[in-house]
Amino acid sequence: MDQKRLVEVFRKLALEAGDIIMDIYNADDFDIRVKSDDSPVTDADEAADAHILAGLTSAFPDTLVVTEEHAASHSQSAERFIIVDPLDGTKEFVNRRGEFTVNIAYVENGVPVRGVVYAPAIGRLFYTDEAGRSVEEVGAFDVDVQGAIKPVSVSEPNNDDLVVVASKSHRDAATDAYIGQYQVEDMTSAGSSLKFCLVAAGEADLYPRLGRTMEWDTAAGDAILRGAGGKMVRFDDLSTFKYGKPEYENSFFIAYAPGVELKAPL
């Protein structure tokens, strides 16, 4: 796989999908439907998905592409694949809270090695470069020309004063109980895969998730986190998180900056 081309295509498609999403987001109204798993879906999810899928299959015709909104792809598997959530944080989108993202990741042998996370409503764009290092692009985003970038790196955490980020739409008592085992200086909440990016950029130290997620929800953010020196592990046994699981369903997990003294599950 040509890593330079991979990064260029991911970035371009994420920005283009962001434009599609924002056109619908800024409209007076949009349709909201409910899928079979009771999660919401909008025209923005489907339009962004169609655009990204077409672009990826054209650019990388020999690589499996798995997307949230293309159900037929969920039963396919390969040692290397691209996985997409065209609009992560649909609840944030529907409620016009802005913290939704476009997620695209490339996975090899269970590891998300490249990824892009773009939050079009709040103007944050993270991705891994061709060497796998994570950066944030700043300024105006030109689809065809890369702007100024800055490297991102996880924090050096102080276990007496941790910054913890948790889900804005999926917070529960079990998560709060687990977080309660830590010495927390500050708690913040964020939607979508932005939580990974906050840890990757040193803006938070720890992100535990005790709830159902799918690999398209996490792979791009996980790639950004790993490229910034962070780690993601299973919640139950603290083993390294793997991708390419049956039906692309995740276990509970913990994303964190090395140096955080992880607590055992309750």
State pLDDT tens for residues 39-78.
Answer: 777 899 999 999 999 999 999 999 999 999 888 899 999 9
* DSSP output for the chain: --HHHHHHHHHHHHHHHHHHHHHHHTSS---EEE-TTS-EEEHHHHHHHHHHHHHHHHH-TTSEEEETT-GGGGG---SEEEEEEEEE-HHHHHTT----EEEEEEEETTEEEEEEEEETTTTEEEEE-TTS-EEEEESS--SSS--EEEE-------TTSEEEEEESSS--HHHHHHHTTS-EEEEEEE-TTHHHHHHHTTS-SEEEE-S--BHHHHHHHHHHHHHTT-EEEETTT-PBP----GGGB---EEEE-BTB-PPPP-
pLDDT for the residue 38:
61
Q: Which residues of 166-195 are buried (b: 16+ CB within 10 A; e: fewer)?
A: bbbeeeeeebeebbeebeeeeeeebbbbbb
Per-residue pLDDT, averaged over 211-237, amounts to 96
Judged by average pLDDT, the poorest of 40-44, 80-84, 162-166 is: 40-44
The CATH 3.30.540.10 domain(s) of the chain lie at: 3-151
Per-residue pLDDT, averaged over 102-123, amounts to 97
Q: Is the pLDDT of residue 220 over 80?
A: yes
The CATH 3.40.190.80 domain(s) of the chain lie at: 162-256
Handedness of CA 118, 113, 82, 243 (dihedral sign): negative
Q: What are phi and psi of 198, to 5 degrees?
A: -65, -40
Distance of CA 57 to the CA centre of its chain: 21
Q: Is the pLDDT of residue 87 over 80?
A: yes
pLDDT for the residue 97:
87
The pLDDT confidence band at residue 191, using thresholds 50, 70 and 90, is confident
Question: Whole-angstrom Cα distance, residue 51 to residue 95?
Answer: 24
pLDDT per position as a tens digit, 119-133 = 999 999 999 999 999
CA angle 153-249-18, nearest 5°? Answer: 55
Stated pTM of the model:
0.94
For domain 162-256, the CATH architecture is 3-Layer(aba) Sandwich (3.40)
pLDDT per position as a tens digit, 149-163 = 999 999 999 999 999
Total residue count of the chain as it appears in this document: 266
For domain 3-151, the CATH architecture is 2-Layer Sandwich (3.30)
Provide the percentage of residues in the chain whose pLDDT is more than 90.
78
CA angle 50-38-77, nearest 5°? Answer: 50
pLDDT for the residue 25:
92
Provide the percentage of residues in the chain whose pLDDT is more than 70.
97
pLDDT per position as a tens digit, 7-51 = 999 999 999 999 999 999 998 777 777 776 667 778 999 999 999
pLDDT for the residue 27:
87
